[in-house]
Amino acid sequence: MGAKRKPTTADRILDTAERLLQERGFNAFSYADISEALGIQKASLHHHFGTKADLGLALIDRYRHDFDDALREIEAATEDAPGRLERYVALYGSVLRKKRMCMCGMLAAEVATLPKGMRESVAAFFTDNEAWLGRVLDQGREEGSLEFSGPAESMASFFVSSLEGAMLVARGSGSSDYFDTVAKRLLERSHPRKAKQGASAHRSPRRLRRFSSPRT
């Protein structure tokens, strides 16, 4: 295995900008914030990303690429639909436990103020996610491991919107417990056997298994 590539200045800018966006929102940080955090001149930022809109597009492109990689890792790690759903939910939980939010979820909250290119890229992120989830849900229903009413596409949209909303409420409450509860109910809603296990857990002291993230 080759040596890990040393982060470039552009990488460091994107890393810092992503953190600031996930913590504050796109409109709540400036090039001055990035410059101060990295100890570099604003001229260097403009050299790599001419405008903040250019920076925003680069951030979304990288985020979408990384998320796609995470979905491929999920597919490689487990073949069954319920397992893939659990790992998908865990992706969101792992971000929340780092005191951050889904980056595209944060951008969606500010979509009215974003440049057209960024709006389109954010929409594409959610379209891609729902398409992947739809395939997993269809797979589970065909196998008999998942059970839900209506088309898979509608259930996929429900999953994404519920997870994004649960992250916001959990952030506001200062605890991930709310997200964990919503995530558990989402999985039970489409997984009849898991729902039965959950009902049994209420009648016994056995601890419910918590979700584990496929990535750190």
Domains of the chain: 61-203 (1.10.357.10)
Task: DSSP for 66-100, please give it.
Answer: HHHHHHHHHHHH--SHHHHHHHHHHHHHHHHTTT-
What is the mean pLDDT of the segment spanning 132-136?
97
Q: Tens digit of pLDDT for each residue in 90-114?
A: 999 999 998 899 999 999 999 999 9
Confidence of residue 3 (pLDDT cuts 50, 70, 90): low
Output 211 or 40, whichever has higher pLDDT.
Answer: 40
Confidence of residue 190 (pLDDT cuts 50, 70, 90): confident
Q: Nearest-5° angle of CA 212, CA 99, CA 85? A: 30
